[in-house]
Structure 1
Amino acid sequence: MDDYLNDMALFVEVVKAKGFRHAAETVGIPNSTLSRRISALEKTIGLRLLHRTTRKIELTEAGQLYFERCKRIVDEARLAHAQLGEMLAQPSGTLRVSLPVDFAVTYLAPLIAEFADLYPGIQFDLDLTPRRVDLVSEPFDVAIRIGESESSQLIARPLASLTPFLYASPGYLARAGVPEKPADLARHQCLAILKTSAWTLRDGKRSVTVPVNGRFVLNSVGMIRSLANVDRGIVLVPREVVEDDLANGTLRPVLPAWYGTATPIYAMTETRLLPAKTQRFIEFLQERLARR
């Protein structure tokens, strides 16, 4: 029975890795041994689970059904082990997290450092990338994502909602003038993400959409912040991103009664069954971000 359960877990790893070689590296056994174990599993069941070619594997109809059932069993078993381990010690192991670059650098870095101090047994493998990693086939425990949660089979846990406000440097405002109403933004240099042609602003009661333009088209909040600091224009970003700039006076609020559309932040996981290290990390971010 033990070998049977172990082979189920190996089968799940092969499917997640989309091949024997990567799965063998993950579980630490020879490729030939892994292939032999899966063949034995198919023989025991009496059905072919995988179509094998020289380049890839594909699930058979029976294999797809078996994978869905086995994955739940394997996740439950891993969670049980993690929860029992919690009774003896603090969470430990390597926490693999995918993070959006600018948000991580300007906002999450001190929070991650604080979490690391709380849990010295956890090692961190942080991947800062603009792409949306595949949590099913790539070895990440959690991905932090900004914006609306896409419709998928992933589990989305809300962490926070960040509201953007308008800011500019004193030097820029001295040169270009201070906007007195949202419509004035049309004649200003506005530093916008990607090719945004308009900003929707609210003051609690009213909502207006104003055209914006500028010389710079960017996909980096960090770069937008830097350009605003050297008098290049007006930005619409969450206060949390520019707290240091406001404190030292290199940026100041513009039209402070007006704000943009709030942006949700999510922790995305492949499953609801989380090991202690991942659960603690998500709970920590939820608690700290709620304070702000």
Structure 2
Amino acid sequence: MDLNALEDFRLVATHGGFGRASRASGRSKATLSRRVAELEDALGLRLIERGMRSLELTEAGQLLLAGTEGPMRDVVDTLEEVREGMASPKGRLRIAAPLVFSQLALGRLAAQFVAIYPEVEVEAVAEDRLVDLVEEHFDVTVRINPRKDSNLVGRCFARDRLVLAAAPSIRMPRRRSDTPCAVPAVVTPTYREGDIWTIRDSKLTIEPQPVLRLSSLLMVRDAIIAGAGVALMPQSIIGGAIEKGELAVWGEVGEEVELWILHISRRLQSPKVRAFVEFMCAQYRSGVFTI
């Protein structure tokens, strides 16, 4: 173990960044970054998460920093503790996920995960906004059709599809023409005036006439079951209502919806993150998101 690399890590950690550590020590940022990476490789653990605007210590990094504040003769023992202590999934796993996914699936999934890995404590936050994993101390996030982000990696664990659905009492228009058919609709905040819904593999287009504007897809589901109008919904959310005959599907709209589990880096991924990613993918081996 290179104790100079350890000292460089402590320098970066205590100063809160490579730039400040460089200015304080006179050593180049490139050298500090390389030495910290070498220490991480030697331990087989990620010690620092490098965000867009900030630097955060991982659990292993915090443990190493705290444990090396004493005499250097204790350093080797501390390094071994860090290596052994982080070898299996343990510690707090913070998850950010969209509201509806959290309400419908995440509670059950989290319970199953901690039953397999009892040394992991799961903390899940249900929000539709895009969180900053580094600055807000999240380990993983579930995102729907995520845009490309150079700081995040992950896997698509399931797919869903968007369908137009309504209660059987609302008849699907039969007219096929270039003119959209006006139909009473229940819409969400993503709806914009003038939006047109086109059914795939069909010439039928729908011009939604909003009668209800609801912020939750679960409210939308209940409203269309009650006969309020047609709505654009994920198949997974209304699958049960379709099976019971409470809703009828008019057709698919748009492309498939992808659900991804994302985290900061594939390099030296922590055991708890790696285990959760594998767990999520195993839950949806068919590739289809079901509730």
Whether these two folds match at TM > 0.5 is yes
Alignment of 1:63-142 (within 5 A): 63=29, 65=30, 68-69=33-34, 72-73=37-38, 76=41, 77=43, 79=45, 90-142=88-140
Instruction: Report the Cα distance in structure 2 between the residues aligned to 1:10 and 1:227, rounded to whole angstroms.
Output: 58
Whose helix proportion is higher, 1 or 2?
1
SS at match of 1:264: strand
Q: Structure 2 vs 1, CA of residues 2 and 226 (structure 1 numbering), >3 Å: closer, same or farther? A: farther
Aligned residues: 245
Work out whether residues 199 and 212 of structure 1, in 8 Å CA contact, stay in contact via their aligned partners in 2.
yes
The residue type equivalent to 1:11 in the other structure is: V
Work out whether residues 166 and 248 of structure 2, in 8 Å CA contact, stay in contact via their aligned partners in 1.
yes
SS at match of 2:148: coil
> Does 1:5 find its partner at 2:6?
yes
Instruction: Report the Cα distance in structure 2 between the residues aligned to 1:67 and 1:198, rounded to whole angstroms.
Output: 55
**Structure 2 portions without partners, runs of 5+:** 47-59, 61-81
TM-score, normalised to structure 1, is: 0.68
TM-score, normalised to structure 2, is: 0.68
> Does 1:46 find its partner at 2:29?
no
1:265 is matched with: 259
2:171 is matched with: 177
1:230 is matched with: 226
TM-superposed CA distance for 1:107, in Å, is 3.1
RMSD of Structure 2 on Structure 1 (CA)? 3.5
Q: Structure 2 vs 1, CA of residues 193 and 202 (structure 1 numbering), >3 Å: closer, same or farther? A: farther
1:52 is matched with: none
2:145 is matched with: 147
> Does 1:189 find its partner at 2:189?
no
**Structure 1 portions without partners, runs of 5+:** 19-37, 48-61
Q: Structure 2 vs 1, CA of residues 84 and 246 (structure 1 numbering), >3 Å: closer, same or farther? A: farther
1:289 is matched with: 284
Alignment of 1:210-249 (within 5 A): 210-249=206-245
TM-superposed CA distance for 1:9, in Å, is 5.1
SS at match of 1:194: coil
The residue type equivalent to 1:261 in the other structure is: E
The residue type equivalent to 1:241 in the other structure is: I
Work out whether residues 99 and 144 of structure 1, in 8 Å CA contact, stay in contact via their aligned partners in 2.
yes
Instruction: Report the Cα distance in structure 2 between the residues aligned to 1:264 and 1:68, rounded to whole angstroms.
Output: 35
TM-superposed CA distance for 1:234, in Å, is 1.8
The C-alpha deviation readout for 1:96-149, integer Å capped at 9, x for no partner, is: 111111121123332222222222221011111122111232211111111232
1:278 is matched with: 273
Instruction: Report the Cα distance in structure 2 between the residues aligned to 1:78 and 1:166, rounded to whole angstroms.
Output: 49
TM-superposed CA distance for 1:13, in Å, is 7.4
Work out whether residues 99 and 126 of structure 1, in 8 Å CA contact, stay in contact via their aligned partners in 2.
yes
Work out whether residues 158 and 259 of structure 2, in 8 Å CA contact, stay in contact via their aligned partners in 1.
yes
Instruction: Report the Cα distance in structure 2 between the residues aligned to 1:4 and 1:75, rounded to whole angstroms.
Output: 9
TM-superposed CA distance for 1:217, in Å, is 3.3
TM-superposed CA distance for 1:191, in Å, is 2.7
TM-superposed CA distance for 1:280, in Å, is 1.1
